């Protein structure tokens, strides 16, 4: 499978979201999937993926998450989107 992981935080930081994205990419690659991790819509490759995994952290976007709609629209052009919601206060 070709998988794109969109992480709003850098994967080299010691934070939960970045670490989860990095570990997920490593595990998927270890079983033979083609995985790419990006952190910005401007870094999106011009290709289609079997799955696009967006790590959604509402408090990182303006309007308590509504500011992420532009990113989501761009990601949807690359393939079907799956969300992981990281919410500090549910």
pLDDT in tens, the chain (90 residues): 999 999 877 666 667 788 888 899 999 999 999 999 998 888 888 999 999 999 888 777 777 677 788 888 999 999 999 988 887 665
Distance between CA atoms of 19 and 42, rounded to whole angstroms? 22
Q: What is the pTM of this model?
A: 0.84
Distance between CA atoms of 85 and 74, rounded to whole angstroms? 18
On the CB side of 79, CA atoms within 13 Å amount to: 19
Q: What is the DSSP string of 21-38?
A: HHHHHHHHHHTT-EEEEE
How far lies 84's CA from each of 6, 41, 47, 88, in Å? 10, 17, 22, 13
Distance between CA atoms of 37 and 88, rounded to whole angstroms? 23
């Amino acid at each position: 499978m070709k998988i794109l992981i969109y992480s709003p935080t850098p994967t080299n930081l010691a934070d939960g979201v970045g670490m989860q994205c990095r570990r997920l990419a490593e595990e998927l690659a270890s079983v033979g999937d083609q995985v790419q991790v990006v952190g910005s819509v401007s870094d999106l490759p011009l290709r289609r993926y079997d799955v696009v995994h967006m790590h959604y952290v509402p408090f990182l976007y303006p309007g308590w998450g509504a500011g992420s709609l532009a990113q989501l629209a761009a990601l949807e052009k690359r393939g079907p989107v799956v969300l992981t919601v990281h919410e500090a206060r549910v």
